Chain A
Amino acid sequence: MTSDDLDTVRARERAAFAAAPCRLAVCTAAGCLSSGAGAVRDALERTAADGADSPGLRIIGTGCLGLCHAGPLLRVFRAGAPDVTYAHATPDLAAAVVRQLPDGRLPDERQLPAMHPFFAHQHPVVLENAGRIDCERIEDYVAAGGYAALQQAMTEMKPDDVIREVVASGLRGRGGAGYPTGLKWSTVAKARGAGKFVVCNADEGDPGAFMDRSVLEGDPHRVIEGMAIAGFAVGAEQGYIYVRGEYPLAVSRLRVAIRQAERMDLLGQRILDTPFSFRIDVRIGAGAFVCGEETALIASIEGKRGAPRPRPPYPASFGLWGRPTLINNVETYANIPPIIRSGGAAYARLGTERSKGTKVFALAGAIVNTGLIEVPMGTSLRQIIFDIGGGIPDGRSFKAAQTGGPSGGCIPASHLDLPVDYEALAGIGSIMGSGGLIVMDDRSCMVDVARFFMEFCRDESCGKCIPCRAGTVQMHTLLMRMTTGVAAERDLTLLEQLADMVTRTSLCGLGQTAANPVVSTLRHFRDEYMAHILEHRCPAGVCRMPRAPERAS
């Protein structure tokens, strides 16, 4: 298939799309599927097949619509009418929708308000296709403008041009650290040596985070396209997507997507009849958080024990099997097609001075609208949590937001108006991270929260370096002493010293950031620690304290 052939396919699909005045999109991301989206889809198809069919009706399974707590979600698109979204859809409701479609009078029950604030304040770029395309049909992706960026890169641009656009976009790594993507690409492009690799890090492991899973499940071709463009730009012919083993649906959709792309010459030998070849293979992780660290991930792809190694040398010069390797996260690659399509400068108009574009967040915890959102960088936490997220349920009050997972920190109410960008979050002791955002109300004990994350790091430490392996154990022990009311003041000193030491001396990012939840809660909620230690009292009432504490002098 040539580039012109692809244009033909796109035109044909768009015509077919225009001819179908009505689409019913069921969210088939893992969240909605687990609350019954499969039965809803079956009911739609059964009812349509039973003769209540209206001409031009299409039923699609689509990517995450975002409002996960209200799933299964069902969205109705009709030509000339506003979209209608149903929450908590049931098979009966689905059947009623199909039957009443021809009259144009849809059932009122379970309809979300037309301008639901959850959707109104968002700005989808990475998630632009959610609801619009069937996540298992490459033709839908192509019709929505998919693979146009790859075509453009292949036919109109040189690798340097592609890198220039990525640099101009100001895109920074969405995996957490925020390293400038353009700089990384140009480093790999300049690295000498044949047989370079492009790797996609889909080992999303932070508790409460599901951004990458949603992108892979809902729009796998977008990631494939981003990787192929990256391969073209840096001179690699082989790509790997390293997906965590807990994401079977993402893996199966990726595999379907890769096969489809290969069939249309968008992957494989001589892409779109150009001299450029690029293959993608899927590698599945085995449940180790540390494999999200790039050198551990590389070791795991190589078939070795997933343990990090010291850097330098960085993967850009010495990566997979010793070859120059580009590693980016799922969301980073998903940002590439729009950057190439509309140009880096256009992309850079979104966001703040040093953090460009949008960011996908997974909202979880004590928040009304649990789910997946995408907002421009620089949106305030208050807008995210209260306007989009709907605030705190049960009339409780906001206490803290945790960003960045076990490597991140807690942000207190006094910083709610902070614009979310890399520097601002780092400035108050948290990090952007990959986009997990856990909201806590006044019933959360911050010492207990720190203990929870420390337990996570302790269990996920690979054990290679002593500070992380044994330091997390001791920090967890000290936090346990505090939450069980047997701690003394010297335990706090020990904790602070250990936090500093583990941060400064650990081998990889896991250990270097493992103490962040402790440091940030100490910074913003020190009084809670003191209440646990001096008064053997948990202000939030979470920790169970013994009546007569067995004190250690």
Chain B
Amino acid sequence: MSVRTLTINGQPVSATEEQTILDVAREHGIDIPTLCHFDGLSEHAGCRLCLVEIAGSPKLHAACVTPAAEGIEVTTHSDRVTAYRRQIVELLLAERNHVCSVCVANRNCELQDLAVAMNLHHVRYEPQDPQLALDASHPRFIMDPNRCVLCTRCVRVCDEIEGAHTWDVMARGRRAMIVSDLNQPWGESPSCTGCGKCVRVCPTGALFEKGATTTVRDPDFLTYLKTAREQKLWIR
């Protein structure tokens, strides 16, 4: 295995061949914001929050899918990308009905945390106010598309880890929705095993347990699960 050296925000760091810029940055305590990334899942590269600058390249690069290549100079928090990230979070807040004060994930929500970390105190874009019905047909869980940011963590965890592929995305653009099976009520889904992994990885309050007054955040649980499965090591 060959080892690379590069700099992130001027700090020299080393990386293995498989590591992305995001991996290396996190290893060194540099916080690049993300929303669709989740340790243990394939990368979606859709939220665009982890975009970083690489010296000499006019384009921005998604840290989650860009290899930590030899000799590159990465800047993670330039004024430009910071402003873009802020706009992205604002766009999300205006897109659906994110009303923190009546959300089960209030104070436990990655979208809200992003807004707070960015000092986002108001949204400049017009709220789109879509009419979206929530699906409470499942005996244990609820899906509220009003809180959904379409990160597809649920789709990926169901497909890649649970192997059920109950969730997928229907329609496109602003009409895109997470649906179970062929857009059937979740409670009638023949493929859903009821494992609840999708609920555990949801960054917002879109998927939650019935009767719950808060959501659980457990960013390491898939890594734990995979290590247990693949190496028979039950370690946290």
Give the shortest distance, in Å, between A276 (CB) and chain B (any CB).
36
* Contact with A477, one of B45, B48, B126, B175 (Cβ below 8 angstroms): B126
Across the interface, B48 reaches (CB within 8 A) one of A459, A462, A494, A507, namely A507
Contact partners of B92 in chain A: CB under 8 A: 466, 470
B43 closest partner in A (C-beta): A310
A459 and chain B: residue at smallest CB distance: B173
Q: In the complex, which residues of chain A have a beta carbon less than 8 angstroms from the beta carbon of B60?
A: 504-505
State the Cβ distance, B95 to closest chain A Cβ, in Å.
5
* A310-B45, A463-B150 known; A497+B87 contact, CB < 8 A: yes
If A305-B168, A507-B48 touch, whether A463 touches B173 (CB-CB below 8 Å) is: yes
What mask results when residues 45 to 58 of chain B are scored 1 for a CB within 8 Å of chain A, else 0?
11110010000000
Count of interface residues, chain A, beta-carbon cutoff 8 Å: 31
Q: Which of B51, B125, B150 contacts A469 (CB 8 A)?
A: B150
Decide if B94 touches A310 in the complex (CB within 8 Å): no
Main SS class of interface, A: helix
What's the Cα separation between A498 and B60 when bound, in Å? Answer: 16
Determine the chain B residues whose CB is within 8 A of the CB of A463 once the complex forms: 150, 169, 171-176
Task: Considering the complex, give the chain A residue whose CB is closest to the CB of B45.
Answer: A310
Contacts known (A310-B45, A494-B125); A462 close to B172, Cβ less than 8 A = yes
Residues of B contacting A307 in the complex (Cβ-Cβ under 8 angstroms)? 169
Once the chains are docked, how many angstroms separate the CA of A490 from the CA of B169? 35
What 0/1 readout, one digit per residue, does chain B (154-190) give for beta carbons within 8 Å of chain A? 0000000000000011011111100000000000000
A290 contacts chain B at the CB level, 8 A cutoff: yes
| Contact across chains for B172 and A460 when beta carbons are under 8 A apart | yes
CB <8 Å contact, B95 and A470? yes
Is there an interface contact between B173 and A466, defined as CB atoms closer than 8 Å? no
Chain A residues whose CB sits within 8 angstroms of the CB of B191 once the complex forms: none
Please tell me if the beta carbons of A469 and B174 are within 8 angstroms of each other in the complex. yes
Please give, as numbers and ranges, the residues of chain B lying within 8 Å of A501 by CB-CB distance: 83-84, 87-88
Question: A483 interface residue, CB < 8 Å from B?
Answer: no
A458 at the interface (CB under 8 A from B): yes
> What is the interface size of chain B, counting residues whose CB is below 8 A from a CB of the partner?
32
A117 vs B22: C-alpha distance when bound (angstroms) = 60
Q: Is B236 an interface residue (CB 8 A)?
A: no
User: CB of B128 within 8 A of chain A?
Assistant: yes
Cα separation A286 to B91 with both chains bound (whole Å): 29
Q: With both chains docked as a complex, state the minimum distance between the C-beta of A287 and any C-beta of chain B, in angstroms.
A: 10
Residues on the B chain within 8 Å of A507, using CB? 45-46, 48
Could you say which of B45, B94, B172, B175 contacts A470, with CB atoms under 8 Å apart?
A: B94
Question: Does B168 lie within 8 Å of A474, measured CB to CB?
Answer: no
**Most B-side CB within 10 Å, residue of A460, A465, A472, A498:** A465
Q: How far is the CA of A459 from the CA of B175 in the complex (A)?
A: 9
Whether A471 sits at the interface, judged by CB under 8 Å, is yes
- Binary CB contact string for chain B from 119 to 153 against chain A (1 if under 8 A, 0 otherwise): 00000111010000000000000000000011000
Report chain B residues within 8 Å CB of A470.
91-92, 94-95, 174
Which chain B residues lie closer than 8 Å to A309 at the CB level?
45
Considering only residues 482-503 of chain A, those with a C-beta below 8 Å from chain B are 494, 497-498, 501
B65 at the interface (CB under 8 A from A): yes
Across-interface contacts of A396 in B (CB, < 8 A): none
**Which residue of A is nearest B85, CB measured?**
A505
Q: Is A381 an interface residue (CB 8 A)?
A: no
Interface code A126-166, partner B: CB below 8 Å = 1, 0 otherwise?
A: 00000000000000000000000000000000000000000
Does A288 make an interface contact (CB < 8 A)? yes
CB-CB under 8 A for A504 and B84, given A463-B176, A467-B91: yes
Name B64's closest neighbour in chain A (CB-CB): A310
Q: Are A465 and B46 in contact (CB under 8 A)?
A: yes
Contact residues in A for B126 (Cβ distance below 8 Å): 474, 477
Check A305–B169 contact: CB distance below 8 A.
yes
From B47, B83, B95, A465 is in contact (CB under 8 Å) with B47
CA distance A293 to B129 in the complex (A): 30
Q: Please, what's the 1-or-0 string for A70-109, where 1 marks a CB less than 8 Å from any CB in chain B?
A: 0000000000000000000000000000000000000000
Q: Which of A422-464 contact B (CB under 8 A)?
A: 458-464
Q: Does A473 sit within 8 A of B, measured CB to CB?
A: yes
A317 CB to nearest B CB, Å = 14
- Alpha-carbon distance between A369 and B9 when the two chains are bound, in angstroms: 58
CB-CB under 8 A for A498 and B87, given A309-B45, A507-B46: yes
B62 interfacial contact with A, CB 8 Å: yes
Question: A520 an interface residue at 8 Å Cβ cutoff?
Answer: no
Assembled-state Cα–Cα distance A421/B230 (Å): 56
> In whole angstroms, what is the CA distance A88 to B84 when docked?
54
Report how far A466 CA is from B45 CA in the complex, Å.
Answer: 10
A552 to chain B: closest residue by CB: B126
Interface residues of B (CB under 8 A from A): 44-48, 51, 60, 62, 65, 80, 83-84, 87-88, 91-92, 94-95, 124-126, 128, 149-150, 168-169, 171-176
Q: A interface vs B, CB < 8 Å?
A: 288, 290, 305, 307, 309-310, 458-467, 469-474, 477, 494, 497-498, 501, 504-507
